[in-house]
Structure 1
Amino acid sequence: MKLKFLFFAISFLTAIHVFSQNTYVFLGSYNKNKEAESIQVFQLDTLNGKLTKITAAKNVINPSYLTVSPNGKYVYACTETKTPNDGNVSSFEFNPENKSLTFLNKQKSGGENPVYVSVHKSGKWLVNANYTEGSVSVHPLLENGKIDSLAQNFQYSDGSINKERQTRSHVHSAVFSPQFDYLFLPDLGADKIRCYGFDETKKQPLTETKNPFTKTDLEAGPRHFTFHPNQKFGYCIEEMAGAISVYQYENGALQKIQRINTHSDKIKEGFESSDIHISPDGKFLYATNRGKENNIAIFSIDENGLLTNIGYQSTLGKHPRIFALDESGKFLIATNVISGNVIVFKRNQITGLLKKVGKEVKMENVSCVQIKKI
């Protein structure tokens, strides 16, 4: 009888916790005006896709890319992005009960123009990619959410063949492997996907690996990277080529098995591919195109990890940079930098297709979105 009661009590408390969780949307922007709300936080209604603003942060310049800590308590941002001779990573404490987003501290990013920031699953390490100077930096994270001083920084000088955009390295993202034991760095300037081992127990966690980089096609311009939920495949979106390369993945090694365009065949030039994500069920991949096309390319994924294009969805704005899927896979949210609008799409989980829902949010130079259930 006692066991039955204990089981009931645990189930009841678990149900209360799940029910009490809310889904929050964090938006960053290219906004050099310190008086402007450069980071905004919304609550997502997971029934109808409506966004309701709950808080914001000022006095921060160009928080162009954000990530949320695994426990949902802290937000980390690339700040002073596209600011000559500057670049920082900043931390904020998010309190959903008080509806507050409070600045904690910042540290130098280790290079000019930080464009991507990731947090290790342990919540103890922050990694950021610096675009202009082509480098990666690692910072320890303190228990109070603040960023500690720089632990490691690696800079690269090699470029590739495009004389306008690839005179030197431009690291565009820093993505952990599914087990968080490797770190992958798509380098647009060098046409490489760099790789390090990651040992969270060391004071300097980045370690050399027997596969220090994977070469991409020339003038590909690798930008962002994601892994399939089954952990067997990796997908790299190539900004300059407007393509996705598919890789078989195992223990830090990538072997290319497919390359497919993100843009439609009718567009021969004037495209820039941007962001890439996979639905939680692993059945569909989404990728954004900017330039002559402002849309989301939709692909089905077969059991061998290969992609088939099944359609396109306009982002209903100009220059979609970053988008995100919620944890349930029910919603996709896209940000359009030039038109300054945020669009919520409901995702058909059977067909993979998208349909706009709710009312768009306006935010000047909105550049990034992250979604987190807390």
Structure 2
Amino acid sequence: MKNIIALIITVCSWISVYSQHTYVFFGSFNWDKNTEGIYVYELDTISGNLSKITSLKGIVNPSFLTMSPNGKYIFACTESKTENGGSVSSVEFNVKKKSLTIINSQKSGGENPVYLTVHRNGKWLINGNYTEGSVSVYPILNDGKIEPYTQNFQFSEGSINPDRQERAHIHSTVFSPDFKYIFMPDLGADKIRIYQFQDGKEKPLQKTETPFVQTVPGSGPRHLTFHPNGKFAYCIEEMGGTVSVYFYENGKLENIQRIATHSAKYKECFEGSDIHISPDGNFLYASNRGHENNIAIFSIQNNGILKTIGYQSVKGKHPRTFNIDPSGKFLITANTGTNEVVVFKRNPETGLLKKVGRKIKIKNVSNVQIGKY
């Protein structure tokens, strides 16, 4: 009897594992709503191959995507880099039908929306607008519809580089691990702006005792990520070609390291772009565009400090963003400059990457998000 029960448990576990699907969502600069803008592929978690499931027309330049906590809705920065434009859009992903359907759009509250994040309760959306440096906060209804923004913060001050930092440029909006704070790297002002997030209020963003952390002048902070243990934060600095490491506690960041994302032969013209940590918390990855077009690989020590492991070519140009699948087995890059997606398999012991599968062609691909269903 015990053997039969054990067999049933094993079979049920096997069915559960193999009934799961990993879907990969790609945003792009399509420049024309009559052409495909958002794409969905399924990831073969054995081979690393990608198979197209569906795509969506009807929206312009869905350059950055984020997913609702339940995976049912995809939110997109739309009309990015569009003169007098700028919007955020909601799209339903029907897993059974494998289809995408536009729900609605709202004005982004600024030109060139570049980043979106969703609260863990699925009821709030926060957007960062790059060009004039602003942030907008939207309620989300149960059916995935985005309401008009209830808050819009405009920032103005710049920093030392007159060509790139003439004014504020918000480049990402990232919740703290406990979702009580929101962090906003401002490339133009060399600041990581900080607000409290009070879920129960109609206007949830509230000022904090420490409104920002100053970064190195001319560094251009871009994207931020937190370690799975919640104790450390890591910010990639686009113009400095560096990652700054912070000790994190209760809405405050304390800098403990600043390390180059490039090898010694590169002295200038850095273009750092994206940053992610493996689910096991052992390795950090940072993408470089420009001359390098690679992923810098770091091991994470127990005290949060980074140690350089090596560099992996992205097999293309301009890796604007990349992401790691929930299992930690694969890293997928969106190489905007060569209109292609490349899949790498991660070595969980060394952190190193190896290209697998075949490249996928997507014109002006700009963003990649991954979910397990």
TM-score range, shorter chain: over 0.9
Distance 1:95 1:160, change over 3 A: same
Separation of aligned partners in 1, 2:80 and 2:196: 27
Separation of aligned partners in 2, 1:13 and 1:66: 34
15-24 vs 72-81, which moves further = 15-24
Q: In structure 1, the residue corresponding to 2:345 is in which secondary structure? A: strand
Q: In structure 2, the residue corresponding to 1:167 is in which secondary structure? A: coil
* 1:118 aligned onto 2:117: yes
1:18-167 aligned at under 5 Å gives the runs 18-167=17-166
Q: In structure 1, the residue corresponding to 2:271 is in which secondary structure? A: strand
Equivalent position of 2:330 in the other structure: 331
Structure 1 position 271, deviation (Å): 2.1
Separation of aligned partners in 2, 1:240 and 1:117: 22
Q: In structure 2, the residue corresponding to 1:246 is in which secondary structure? A: strand
Superposed CA deviations along residues 258-296 of structure 1, whole A, max 9, x for unmatched, are 000111110112220000000011110000001011000
Percent identity between matched residues is: 63
Q: What amino acid maps onto 1:266 in structure 2?
A: K
Q: What amino acid maps onto 2:172 in structure 1?
A: S
Q: What amino acid maps onto 2:63 in structure 1?
A: S
Equivalent position of 1:197 in the other structure: 196
Separation of aligned partners in 1, 2:7 and 2:132: 57
Separation of aligned partners in 2, 1:12 and 1:360: 35
Number of residue pairs aligned between Structure 1 and Structure 2: 371
Equivalent position of 2:288 in the other structure: 289
Q: What amino acid maps onto 1:38 in structure 2?
A: G
Separation of aligned partners in 1, 2:264 and 2:25: 34
Superposed CA deviations along residues 187-242 of structure 1, whole A, max 9, x for unmatched, are 00000000001111111111111111000000010000000011000000000000
> 8 Å contact 2:177–2:230 — kept in the other structure?
yes
Equivalent position of 1:179 in the other structure: 178
> 8 Å contact 2:76–2:88 — kept in the other structure?
yes
Separation of aligned partners in 2, 1:140 and 1:16: 38
Superposed CA deviations along residues 32-90 of structure 1, whole A, max 9, x for unmatched, are 02222111000001111010100000021110000111101000000000001110000
Q: In structure 1, the residue corresponding to 2:210 is in which secondary structure? A: coil
Equivalent position of 2:255 in the other structure: 256
Equivalent position of 1:356 in the other structure: 355
Q: In structure 1, the residue corresponding to 2:171 is in which secondary structure? A: coil
Equivalent position of 1:366 in the other structure: 365
Equivalent position of 1:227 in the other structure: 226
Equivalent position of 2:208 in the other structure: 209
Separation of aligned partners in 2, 1:14 and 1:183: 38
Q: What amino acid maps onto 2:236 in structure 1?
A: I
Superposed CA deviations along residues 277-320 of structure 1, whole A, max 9, x for unmatched, are 00011110000001011000000110000011110000001111
Equivalent position of 1:236 in the other structure: 235
Q: In structure 2, the residue corresponding to 1:209 is in which secondary structure? A: strand
Separation of aligned partners in 2, 1:356 and 1:232: 32
> 8 Å contact 2:193–2:213 — kept in the other structure?
yes
Separation of aligned partners in 1, 2:128 and 2:9: 43
Separation of aligned partners in 2, 1:10 and 1:98: 30
Separation of aligned partners in 1, 2:10 and 2:149: 44
Q: In structure 2, the residue corresponding to 1:338 is in which secondary structure? A: helix
> 8 Å contact 2:324–2:330 — kept in the other structure?
yes
Q: What amino acid maps onto 1:328 in structure 2?
A: S
Separation of aligned partners in 2, 1:175 and 1:10: 40
Separation of aligned partners in 2, 1:129 and 1:193: 13
Equivalent position of 1:345 in the other structure: 344
Separation of aligned partners in 2, 1:159 and 1:363: 35
Separation of aligned partners in 1, 2:8 and 2:129: 49
Equivalent position of 1:274 in the other structure: 273
> 8 Å contact 2:239–2:269 — kept in the other structure?
no
Q: What amino acid maps onto 1:353 in structure 2?
A: L
Structure 1 position 364, deviation (Å): 0.7
Superposed CA deviations along residues 156-179 of structure 1, whole A, max 9, x for unmatched, are 011111111111000000000001
Q: Give the TM-score of the pair, scaled to structure 1.
A: 0.96
Q: In structure 2, the residue corresponding to 1:368 is in which secondary structure? A: strand
Q: What amino acid maps onto 2:180 in structure 1?
A: D
Superposed CA deviations along residues 14-42 of structure 1, whole A, max 9, x for unmatched, are 76444422100000011102222111000
Separation of aligned partners in 1, 2:221 and 2:184: 9
Q: Which runs of 5+ in 1 are unaligned?
A: none
